[in-house]
Structure 1
Amino acid sequence: MQETPSRRGDALLTFERVERRYGDAGEVVAVGGVSLEVAAGSFVALVGASGSGKSTLLKTVNTLVEPSAGRVLFAGEDVAEAKPATLRRRIGYVFQGIGLFPHMRVGENIAIGPRLAGESLSEQRIAELLGLVELDADMAERMPDELSGGQRQRVGVARALAGDPELLLMDEPFGALDPITRDALGDTVRGLHDRLGLTTVMVTHDMAEALLLSDRVLVMDAGRIVADESPHALLAGEGGEIAQGLVAVPREQAEKLARMERG
């Protein structure tokens, strides 16, 4: 995979008054009029309680969810007007369930996106992708059920990178992993983001994870963005009551650990 420097500052992703409603009369608001820009090269975390709308908003980007109103622009183009196969080749997607095909070897799973687009990946390319996620090349011949949860999720990241995407979407990617494994995989993903010049949008319910990995944290509540701050600003007490309620948990954990280390 060619390594490129990040082009920071230009908006790669734009949400224009995006809404998503459910119910016969649209009475259930999952996303309510969100407008924002995501700069190329940035790592953005979407944080909020269950049902806040963060995953729904993320899925409007790769058209897994269609907005009820408004539009999403990717590289200046309305995603609703793009061919889904072409769009999803430019956008990598990693989710908690991993979704590896159990009857396919790891290498075949990694190559599935390009294959569906009528292309093929060489063994060398698959080995390169495995190397990027810190797995040995011989993993390509294994079946998914031979891997640990962390290894399967690393394969999921490799699969998302197989098409050389400009944008990486991650929906609770580490939620099912133990703390040590999720920390290690988080470090890998942040390293790949910087190394490959990606733009990354990650949904998480874990504020500590958002503070450690992202450049910008968007806090959602009831379908709206209620805070848009840097990790430093949130730790300094900014962002409002809802955001600070989420920050309180990792802050309390850090203070408890500091007390334990002092004896």
Structure 2
Amino acid sequence: MTSPDPSATVLAFEQVERRYGDAGEVVAVGGVDCAIAKGSFVALVGASGSGKSTLLKMVNTLVMPSGGRVLFGGEDVITLNQSQLRRRVGYVFQGIGLFPHFSVGENIGIGPRLAGEALPAERIEELLTLVELGPEMATRMPDELSGGQRQRVGVARALAGDPELLLMDEPFGALDPITRDALGEKVRELHERLGLTTIMVTHDMAEALLLADRVLVMDAGELLADCTPRQLLMGEGGEIAQSLVSVPRQQAEKLAAMEGRLA
């Protein structure tokens, strides 16, 4: 894995809040401060309702902050041209969201198309090859694909605009474990090869520990821990972080015990 450049901050959260309700009484995200270095692969983890997806969606303004600022390249995302922002920030989300009446190629090119540009067939083929799908897939329809293939198309679509930043919101949650692991490894490889900065929301701490350089742990809208996988495995990060780490530890122990019985 390449090391991120700590001197080059790509993304910064400055006392970012998101509140709901007539009086703002429901706090989804409360006062998060954090800087993301260029080249980082960051995992955002936490229980359901912890605020991790809300925080992610404030980066590309799918959710607007109630307070504070999200800075991308030093500029407040709210002030940026939204079409250009969406080109600079790739987004892969849970459920994939391919348009069922568009071909694979049309789905991959939808972002540039909405920005008034046509993605050349050569570029679509290049993106399909990048995610290990053949160029012949461009004419297929989404309902002809497996779940893993559809998610690869989702990744290709997110990369169509040559983004600087890749956001992933529970991208592999609906996939079987083998497909999930393979796609996780592929995304990490693409992160390295393309020089991306990646932020991935996941409820799976094992996935976070395996793929990320840095793990941010959220609970009740607050950022409780900011650690490397090694630090978490060494017992750092606090009680809530360690309760999340305990799950993959228990799974590893059970697997080791099973292997011992089968030996």
TM-score of the pair, normalised by structure 1: 0.97
How is 1:1-263 mapped onto 2 (pairs within 5 angstroms)?
8-9=5-6, 10-263=8-261
Inter-partner Cα distance in structure 2 for 1:124 and 1:83: 28
1:6 offset after TM fit, Å?
8.0
Deviation by residue 1:29-56 (Cα, 9 ceiling, x = unmatched): 0000001000000000000000000000
Inter-partner Cα distance in structure 2 for 1:35 and 1:28: 19
**4+ runs of 1 displaced by more than 4 Å?**
none
Inter-partner Cα distance in structure 1 for 2:17 and 2:37: 21
Gaps spanning 5+ residues in structure 1: where? none
Gaps spanning 5+ residues in structure 2: where? none
Inter-partner Cα distance in structure 2 for 1:77 and 1:132: 31
Q: Secondary structure in 2 aligned to 1:182?
A: helix
Deviation by residue 1:102-126 (Cα, 9 ceiling, x = unmatched): 0010000000101111111111110
Inter-partner Cα distance in structure 2 for 1:211 and 1:176: 19
Deviation by residue 1:114-172 (Cα, 9 ceiling, x = unmatched): 11111111111101100111111100010000000110000000000000000000000
Q: Secondary structure in 2 aligned to 1:135?
A: coil
**What code does the residue aligned with 1:119 have?**
E
Deviation by residue 1:65-121 (Cα, 9 ceiling, x = unmatched): 110000000011110001111101000000011111100100000001011111111
**What code does the residue aligned with 1:160 have?**
A
CA 99–62 in structure 1, closer or farther in 2 if over 3 Å, else same:
same
Q: Secondary structure in 2 aligned to 1:98?
A: coil
Superposed CA RMSD? 1.0
Q: Secondary structure in 1 aligned to 2:50?
A: coil
Q: Secondary structure in 2 aligned to 1:165?
A: coil
CA 7–48 in structure 1, closer or farther in 2 if over 3 Å, else same:
closer
Deviation by residue 1:199-229 (Cα, 9 ceiling, x = unmatched): 0000000000100000000000000011110
Q: Secondary structure in 2 aligned to 1:109?
A: helix
Q: Secondary structure in 2 aligned to 1:50?
A: coil
**What code does the residue aligned with 1:104 have?**
F
Inter-partner Cα distance in structure 2 for 1:240 and 1:69: 27
**What code does the residue aligned with 1:207 have?**
M
Inter-partner Cα distance in structure 2 for 1:142 and 1:197: 30
1:7 offset after TM fit, Å?
6.4
Inter-partner Cα distance in structure 2 for 1:226 and 1:14: 17
Inter-partner Cα distance in structure 2 for 1:134 and 1:234: 33
Inter-partner Cα distance in structure 2 for 1:261 and 1:6: 34
**What code does the residue aligned with 1:205 have?**
H
> Percent identity at matched positions?
77
